[in-house]
Amino acid sequence: MDTENGEEVFQGIAASPGISYGQIFLIKQIEIEVPSYQIDLSRKDEEVQRFEQVLLTTRQQITKIQQEIATNLSEDEARIFDAHLLVLEDQVLIEESIREMEKTGLNIEAAFYAVGQRYITAFDQIDDEYLRERASDIRDVVRRVVHNFAGRNQENIIQLLEERILVSHDISPSDSATIDHSKILGIVTDLGSKTSHAVIVARSMKIPAVVGLRDATSRLQSGDWVLIDGYEGLVIVRPSEDTLNLYGKLELEHKSFEKKLLTGAQLPSETQDGKKIKLLANIESADEAMAAQETGADGVGLFRTEFLFLGASGFPDEDEQFLAYKRVAEIFKSQPVIIRTLDLGGDKSSANLTYFPEQESNPFLGFRAIRFCLKHTDVFKSQLRAVLRASVFGNIKVMYPMISGPEELIHANALLDEAKEELRERGETFDEEMSVGSMIEIPSAAVIGDLLAKECDFFSIGTNDLIQYLIAIDRLNDRIAHLYEPTHLGVLRTIKSIIDTGHAHKIQVGVCGEMAGDPILVPLLIGLGADELSVSPSGIPAVKYLIQNMKFSETVKLAESALACHDAKGIYAQAKDFYEQHMGNANS
Ligand code: PEP
Ligand code: MG
């Protein structure tokens, strides 16, 4: 978009927060020239040998980079290269390349390159952000292998002499690993998403990033001055004096706000009149656990385990899952870690998982989560055994998603007992008293909470799904997004009833949907009686600050007044007023 003052503004995805201003360093895609010639097929064994040698060299290079990164950055970032090693060892890719050579009579690097390109195109077209990202891994490995065939090492392709904003079509993990990060002011890419590897690294290094701009590389030139706003996902080319002044002020405000929020991060999450509210983190991978702890989380309230499944080509085995759960348990030690069993389906796209049933016409109401697990007991029990085995390394609890009534809960618990028995037979130890929770995210479960409370140790309200099912609003449909109102009186009454039922049966009730991470709605949830809130790690400082700066008695009054009001907008306005009164001093 052009503006009157000569600025150009591009909107992308806000991937890593922060503001930066500087000159661009545009990375042109380095086209690789792949030698292509016919070979005498009687020499094909020599070609295969050459291939094996290059794969070995590539493996050694990647392992070396991985070790360097583990030493200089962290084990988590080094793990990014595990995906590269997997591509290198992919027998299907290797065998297909050899078959391609036999079929076409072309030299092995040309055959390998052709097969690699087919993989990249296939992954690029997948309608799943995570799997699409795997195309970058393959592209990176193919590029490295082809360079090695030519005897060229492709280390340090990007050499920055001055501080610059990097603009690139995509930034591969190898690139981001070999660039001198101290020289990077910001990152802008055509491709990418919040889960891109380069973005993961940028976030952990606090480098502002805007991704998914589609054509930034064709519209920007090396040397252009740009301002990037990683909070809103904006790239402003040739910003005017006014814009620079405005952003200068905004940056100071953001910094002082964030600093203020962090002042109480390691202090207890407790209101001024002494009510303790456990503040837990929602995580999707073991890697996120450490960051969650640094922001002051009291544990994990929701470990969405789907990531282990969405990234895999088959169901991950028990050991693989056990290691992930154990890692998180060890980070949080005696603090609780609630592991939610598999919730594939619905918004957790399963269309690309060949081992998952085909797409349904109404996936949100379909064969998902506990419904799938109670049919595929082998998959479910292997997850339960992994959770149980990890329970000796910390304070693990298990929780089932999408429970609609007591039969499912009783059935799931029976399978948990079987999993325990199987471990006993194997001589493995686990926490015999591990707590079991039920998510309350289906209206029927909310209505018969009294029956569910008898079969479990805690409730966790999943407001994301609960609201969509209560008001009949598809949570992904932006045309009706304005009707998705957490302050709808029907929602608030339902939440209150779930909490009251839980408390009447002496069990704790937490909230783990996005509502719990919205500081405007947090006082309402606390006033309604929620014992715990589980929110995304980046949301923890603001929620904790708010809790520390308000009184529980005031939130009870707010909730009472909300329950007496019948329009959602009016309730929201009351909640917003409350927020502004109590958060005001953080903004000043
Ligand atoms: C929810 O539904 O509120 C919830 C926390 O689960 P998910 O968003 O993973 O469905
Ligand atoms: Mg849910």
**Length of the chain in residues, anyone?**
588
> Is there a single domain that holds both residue 88 and residue 140?
yes
Pocket test for ligand 1, best of 343, 365, 498, 536 (most atoms within 8 A of CB): 343
Give the SS3 label for residue 346. Answer: coil
Say how many domains are in the chain.
Answer: 2
Domain assignment present for 377: no
> Is there a single domain that holds both residue 106 and residue 52?
yes
First to last CA, the chain: 33
Question: Closest Cα to atom 1, ligand 1: which residue?
Answer: 462
Pocket test for ligand 1, best of 465, 474, 494, 518 (most atoms within 8 A of CB): 465
Phi-psi domain of 427 (left: phi exceeds 0; alpha: psi -120 through 50; beta: other): left
> Is there a single domain that holds both residue 61 and residue 197?
no
In the predicted structure, residue 484 carries a pLDDT above the cut 70: yes
Determine the structural domain holding residue 113 and report its residue range: 41-149
Phi-psi domain of 212 (left: phi exceeds 0; alpha: psi -120 through 50; beta: other): left
Torsion of CA 243, 246, 252, 258, to 10 degrees: -90
Look at residue 358 in the predicted model and tell me its pLDDT. 60
Look at residue 352 in the predicted model and tell me its pLDDT. 46
| Number of helices followed by number of strands (H, E) in the chain | 24, 16
Q: Which CATH number belongs to the domain containing residue 116 in this structure?
A: 1.10.274.10
- Write out residues with Cβ below 6 Å of ligand 1: 302, 304, 343, 441, 462-465, 512-513
- Note whether 207 and 188 are within 8 A (CB): no
> Is there a single domain that holds both residue 122 and residue 183?
no
Report, as an integer, the average pLDDT of 230-241. 93
Q: Point out the ligand nearest to the CA of residue 467.
A: 1
Sign of CA dihedral 477, 479, 480, 484: positive
pLDDT tens-digit readout, 371-418: 999 999 999 999 999 999 999 999 999 999 999 999 999 999 999 999
> Is there a single domain that holds both residue 143 and residue 163?
no
- Note whether 235 and 10 are within 8 A (CB): yes
Which band of pLDDT confidence, cut at 50, 70 and 90, is reported for residue 359?
A: low
In the predicted structure, residue 64 carries a pLDDT above the cut 70: yes
Which band of pLDDT confidence, cut at 50, 70 and 90, is reported for residue 427?
A: very high
Report, as an integer, the average pLDDT of 436-449. 98
Q: Point out the ligand nearest to the CA of residue 466.
A: 1
In the predicted structure, residue 81 carries a pLDDT above the cut 90: no
Which band of pLDDT confidence, cut at 50, 70 and 90, is reported for residue 451?
A: very high
Determine what percent of the chain falls in helix, strand and coil, rounding each to the nearest 5.
Answer: 55, 15, 30
Look at residue 583 in the predicted model and tell me its pLDDT. 84
Report, as an integer, the average pLDDT of 502-524. 95
Whole-angstrom distance, CA of residue 22 vs CA of residue 1: 20
- Residue 534 CA: nearest ligand 1 atom is 5
Gap from CA of 333 to ligand 1 centroid (Å): 25
- Note whether 445 and 477 are within 8 A (CB): no
In the predicted structure, residue 199 carries a pLDDT above the cut 80: no
Spot the catalytic one: 169, 197, 488, 582. 197
In the predicted structure, residue 214 carries a pLDDT above the cut 70: yes
Whole-angstrom distance, CA of residue 139 vs CA of residue 117: 8
> Is there a single domain that holds both residue 140 and residue 118?
yes
pLDDT tens-digit readout, 560-580: 999 999 899 999 999 999 999
Distance of CA 113 to the CA centre of its chain: 31
> Is there a single domain that holds both residue 168 and residue 26?
yes
Question: Closest Cα to atom 7, ligand 1: which residue?
Answer: 464
In the predicted structure, residue 149 carries a pLDDT above the cut 90: no
Domain assignment present for 427: no
Report, as an integer, the average pLDDT of 284-295. 85
Look at residue 157 in the predicted model and tell me its pLDDT. 46
Whole-angstrom distance, CA of residue 216 vs CA of residue 167: 7
- The CB-side HSE value for 241 (13 A sphere, CA atoms) comes to 0
Whole-angstrom distance, CA of residue 238 vs CA of residue 85: 41
Domain assignment present for 370: no
Report, as an integer, the average pLDDT of 99-111. 92
Which band of pLDDT confidence, cut at 50, 70 and 90, is reported for residue 155?
A: very low
Query: Of the candidates 487, 502, 471, which has an alpha carbon nearest to the alpha carbon of residue 563?
Result: 487
Domain assignment present for 271: no
Q: What is the DSSP letter of 266?
A: T
- Note whether 379 and 345 are within 8 A (CB): no
Gap from CA of 464 to ligand 1 centroid (Å): 5
- Residue 347 CA: nearest ligand 1 atom is 10
Whole-angstrom distance, CA of residue 449 vs CA of residue 366: 22
CB atoms within 10 A of CB 336: 21
H/E stretch holding 13: strand 13-16
Q: What angle do CA 123, 125, 129 make, to 5 degrees?
A: 75
Instruction: Tell me the pLDDT of the chain averaged across its residues.
Output: 87
Q: Quote the pTM value.
A: 0.66
> Is there a single domain that holds both residue 58 and residue 144?
yes
Q: What is the CA radius of gyration of the chain?
A: 26
Domain assignment present for 228: yes
Report, as an integer, the average pLDDT of 413-435. 98
> Is there a single domain that holds both residue 142 and residue 160?
no
> Is there a single domain that holds both residue 86 and residue 230?
no
- Note whether 407 and 348 are within 8 A (CB): no
Look at residue 390 in the predicted model and tell me its pLDDT. 98
Question: Closest Cα to atom 6, ligand 1: which residue?
Answer: 462
Query: Of the candidates 301, 327, 326, which has an alpha carbon nearest to the alpha carbon of residue 391?
Result: 326
Whole-angstrom distance, CA of residue 347 vs CA of residue 187: 29
Report, as an integer, the average pLDDT of 359-365. 79
pLDDT tens-digit readout, 202-213: 765 678 999 888
Domain assignment present for 477: no
> Is there a single domain that holds both residue 164 and residue 24?
yes
Domain assignment present for 10: yes
Torsion of CA 387, 390, 394, 396, to 10 degrees: 0
Distance of CA 46 to the CA centre of its chain: 45
The answer to whether 197 is a known catalytic residue is: yes
Gap from CA of 401 to ligand 1 centroid (Å): 8
Q: Point out the ligand nearest to the CA of residue 462.
A: 1
Report, as an integer, the average pLDDT of 41-59. 89
Last-in-domain residue among 220, 244, 268: 244
Which band of pLDDT confidence, cut at 50, 70 and 90, is reported for residue 10?
A: very high
Last-in-domain residue among 244, 277, 300: 244
- Note whether 187 and 202 are within 8 A (CB): yes
Q: Is 543 exposed, middle or buried (0-12, 13-18, 19+ CB in 10 A)?
A: buried
- Residue 462 CA: nearest ligand 1 atom is 3
- Residue 343 CA: nearest ligand 1 atom is 9
Pocket test for ligand 1, best of 280, 304, 525 (most atoms within 8 A of CB): 304
Whole-angstrom distance, CA of residue 571 vs CA of residue 559: 9
Q: Point out the ligand nearest to the CA of residue 511.
A: 1
Give exposure, 289-327, as e/b (b: 16+ Cβ within 10 Å). Answer: bbbbbebbbbbbbbbbbbbbbbeeeebbebeebbebbbb
Question: Closest Cα to atom 3, ligand 1: which residue?
Answer: 462
Look at residue 575 in the predicted model and tell me its pLDDT. 97
In the predicted structure, residue 36 carries a pLDDT above the cut 70: yes
Edge-to-edge, what's the strand order for the sheet holding 8-11?
A: 8-11, 234-237, 225-229, 19-27, 164-168, 184-189, 209-211, 13-16
For the chain, give the percent of residues with pLDDT over 70. Answer: 87
Look at residue 311 in the predicted model and tell me its pLDDT. 58
> Is there a single domain that holds both residue 106 and residue 170?
no
| Dihedrals phi, psi of 227, to nearest 5 degrees | -115, 130
Spot the catalytic one: 147, 169, 373, 512. 512
Domain assignment present for 95: yes
Question: Closest Cα to atom 4, ligand 1: which residue?
Answer: 462
Q: Which CATH number belongs to the domain containing residue 192 in this structure?
A: 3.50.30.10
In the predicted structure, residue 527 carries a pLDDT above the cut 90: yes
The answer to whether 582 is a known catalytic residue is: no
Question: Closest Cα to atom 8, ligand 1: which residue?
Answer: 464
Which band of pLDDT confidence, cut at 50, 70 and 90, is reported for residue 327?
A: very high
Last-in-domain residue among 122, 149, 176: 149
Whole-angstrom distance, CA of residue 187 vs CA of residue 431: 45
Report, as an integer, the average pLDDT of 500-526. 95
Pairing relationship of beta strands 234-237 and 278-283 according to DSSP bridges? unpaired
Which band of pLDDT confidence, cut at 50, 70 and 90, is reported for residue 351?
A: very low
- Note whether 186 and 20 are within 8 A (CB): yes
Q: Which residue has the tokens 């207890």?
A: 268
Sign of CA dihedral 417, 421, 423, 427: positive
Which band of pLDDT confidence, cut at 50, 70 and 90, is reported for residue 354?
A: low
Distances (CA, A) of 477 to 347, 480, 484: 11, 6, 10
